[in-house]
């Protein structure tokens, strides 16, 4: 027998903490759909307008701008999901993010096909680009998850429901319903992983999250209320109602942050 001391086995890390994240991986695989599952050609791409050809063209421009905003958001989401996959150190989270990269890419594919049917790409929402830069340039993994999955993907779900309700019997409705489910999973997984990361994060990281929320929320509000030229007229009619709805949504976001154990007393809501 050797007199060498037996090298002590490094204690196996307790991975049961990651069971929640792994559950979202299973859920994502279960919910996975294909762009060919969308009933292309069996229903109109977006609601068809009535009245004069000019009126119909105006209506189509409005819907085109709705689709454009979602396409823009999902292209940014592709880059963001790829960053999360690269930055996450935990195997369970990496497995999960590999599905999120596929989801955001599939969303983009669906929007690209849809926008081709309604006149092609249009005006970009500058606030969405600003939000994208905020996510992509955030310093820590905790901050990226917080901005993207805890806030953005949660705040976007009621918008999908709203668009779906006003576009019954169209391809747009079908896609919005699928994306509301997918983003529910993206949000849930982010909450589960962020909770684990914050258990070990230094206090300073948590403080950064509150600062990041204060930078993000006003920009998100601008994004939610932004109307391209095509929608300006309708925009002003809807703005009061939109503001009310947005206020409720942002308050919900703050409650979520509190449920992660963050001190949200310093969060300033834009209204
Ligand atoms: Fe997406
Ligand atoms: Fe998403």
The predicted-structure confidence for 204-226, as pLDDT tens digits, reads as follows 998 899 899 889 988 988 888 88
| Distance separating alpha carbons of residues 182 and 178, to the nearest angstrom | 6
What value does the mean pLDDT take over residues 189-194? 97
pLDDT at 2: 54
pLDDT at 58: 85
Closest ligand to the CA of 84 = 2
- Ligand 2 centroid–CA 40 distance in Å is 22
**134 and 199 in contact (C-beta within 8 Å)?**
no
Which are the contacts of 258, defined by CB distance < 8 A and separation ≥ 6?
Answer: 264
- Ligand 1 centroid–CA 72 distance in Å is 10
**Tokens 């589960």 label which residue?**
192
- Ligand 2 centroid–CA 184 distance in Å is 8
Q: Is the pLDDT of residue 9 over 60?
A: no
67 to 23, 114, 139: CA distances (angstroms): 31, 8, 31
Closest ligand to the CA of 153 = 2
- Higher pLDDT: 54 or 235? It is 54
pTM comes to 0.90
What value does the mean pLDDT take over residues 249-258? 87
| Distance separating alpha carbons of residues 216 and 132, to the nearest angstrom | 10
- Higher pLDDT: 228 or 162? It is 162
Q: Is the pLDDT of residue 157 over 80?
A: yes
Which are the contacts of 199, defined by CB distance < 8 A and separation ≥ 6?
Answer: none
Percent of the chain whose predicted confidence (pLDDT) is above 90: 62
- Ligand 1 centroid–CA 70 distance in Å is 8
- Ligand 1 centroid–CA 3 distance in Å is 59
141 to 30, 69, 86, 208, 231: CA distances (angstroms): 26, 26, 10, 12, 36
| Tokens (6 digits) for 146 | 């917080």
């Amino acid at each position: 027998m050797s007199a060498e001391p037996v090298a002590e086995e490094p204690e196996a890390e307790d991975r049961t903490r990651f069971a929640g994240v792994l559950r979202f991986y299973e859920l994502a695989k279960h919910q996975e759909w294909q762009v060919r599952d969308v009933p292309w050609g069996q229903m109109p791409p977006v609601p068809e307008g009535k009245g004069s050809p000019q009126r119909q063209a105006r209506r189509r421009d409005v819907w085109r701008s709705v689709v454009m905003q979602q396409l823009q958001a999902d292209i940014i989401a592709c880059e963001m999901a790829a960053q999360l996959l690269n930055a996450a150190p935990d195997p369970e989270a990496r497995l999960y993010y590999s599905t999120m990269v596929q989801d955001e890419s599939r969303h983009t594919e669906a929007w690209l096909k849809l926008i081709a049917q309604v006149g092609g790409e249009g005006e970009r929402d500058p606030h969405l680009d600003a939000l994208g830069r905020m996510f992509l340039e955030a310093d820590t993994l905790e901050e990226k998850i917080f901005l993207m999955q805890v806030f953005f993907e949660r705040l976007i779900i009621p918008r999908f429901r709203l668009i779906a309700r006003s576009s019954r019997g169209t391809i747009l409705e079908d896609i919005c319903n699928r994306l509301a489910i997918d983003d529910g999973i993206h949000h849930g997984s982010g909450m589960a992983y962020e909770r684990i990361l914050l258990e070990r994060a230094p206090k300073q990281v948590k403080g950064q999250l509150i600062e990041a929320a204060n930078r993000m929320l006003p920009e998100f509000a601008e994004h939610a209320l932004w109307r391209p030229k095509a929608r300006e007229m309708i925009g002003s009619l809807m703005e009061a109602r939109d503001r009310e709805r947005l206020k409720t949504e942002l308050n919900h976001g703050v409650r979520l942050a509190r449920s992660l154990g963050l001190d949200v007393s310093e969060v300033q809501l834009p209204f």
